[in-house]
Homo-oligomer: A and B are copies of this chain.
């Protein structure tokens, strides 16, 4: 299960960080899923292995432009490439209005169906073969959600000894049982897959949160979650100076929460453009890491554009080499 940051800057792009976008996939980039789509997301994708042709669904956390203004370009480019597969867009209704206005007022049309799903529907749940995706309401200036990606259809382990004990010899039936299908033997016996298989591991779960000034809203969902991707727009001193209006989190706030719920991995993103990576007078991005590490004893990462992370089946997370240094 991989995810790649397409943008890690809050509000406006910088020379090294685009506005929000995250590509996620289960076992290779066909299909893949996009969370948020700031302006320039299609440009960032040109530098990754993800293609708009294999994009299965777009999840939008909230309506702010740094999370949505890349949609018209991405959608129409997919059309120019000849996409025909339907595309799900899970988003607030305003996003649908924005996309429709963009298409209507640019002489555009799409070569494929868009399937809009209102992210604010109570009890929202989306799924395909790879993931079940639920949402958690967050606290921001506008309605905003986290999306919880939980792996589905985990591989089954065949209980070979039990099969043999019951006189069922190896054959095509074993394969069907392992795929999760029930089997009727020639002698009429019905074998249930669930009786002869077991799931060997827990499903991997990643939360991708939108903008949010109250991480504790994720407490319930954190149970069984291995990775939390959450904004940390400011250090605490800057957050205090800026005041509560923007409704963002400080690094300290997110770190304290992650520690409290014992999350194994925390990846912070959506940094104010005031934080820079190079030398100079600007506050350094590492201040955010230093602050978070004072309050969190799990493994902490600061996202950079094009960083790809892999969550293995053994639930270990690693950051693969960034293809474009920031």
Contact = CB atoms under 8 A, between A and B. Distances in A.
Nearest to A100: B101
A64 B106 contact: yes
B63 A105 contact: yes
A39 interface: yes
Contact of A108 (B46, B65, B77, B105): B65
Contact of A13 (B43, B81, B105, B142): B43
Given A39-B40, A65-B73, A76-B65, A47 B105 contact: no
Interface in A143-162: none
A11 interface: yes
Contacts of A277: none
Nearest to A102: B98
Contacts of A81: 12
Interface string A34-74: 00001110110011000000000000000111101110110
Contacts of A73: 19, 38-40, 65-66, 69
A18 interface: yes
Contacts of A70: 39
A107 B63 contact: yes
Interface string A75-114: 0110011000000000000110110011011111000000
The winner among A14, A69, A76 for most chain B CB atoms within 10 A is A69
Nearest to A41: B39
A15 B15 CA distance: 15
A64 B102 CA distance: 10
Nearest to A101: B101
Contact of A101 (B13, B39, B98): B98
Given A15-B47, A42-B13, A43-B40, A102 B141 contact: no
A169 to B, nearest CB: 54
B12 A64 contact: no
Nearest to A62: B107
Contact of A68 (B46, B95, B106): B106
Contacts of A142: 107
A31 to B, nearest CB: 21
Interface string A1-30: 000000000011111001100000000000
Contacts of A95: 105
B102 A106 contact: no
Contact of A106 (B43, B69, B77): B69
Contacts of A106: 63-65, 68-69, 94, 98
A160 B104 CA distance: 61
A-B interface, 6 closest residue pairs, ranked by CB to CB distance from nearest: A101-B101, A94-B105, A39-B73, A98-B105, A65-B106, A12-B77
8 contacts: A68-B106, A69-B73, A69-B102, A97-B101, A97-B105, A98-B101, A98-B102, A107-B142
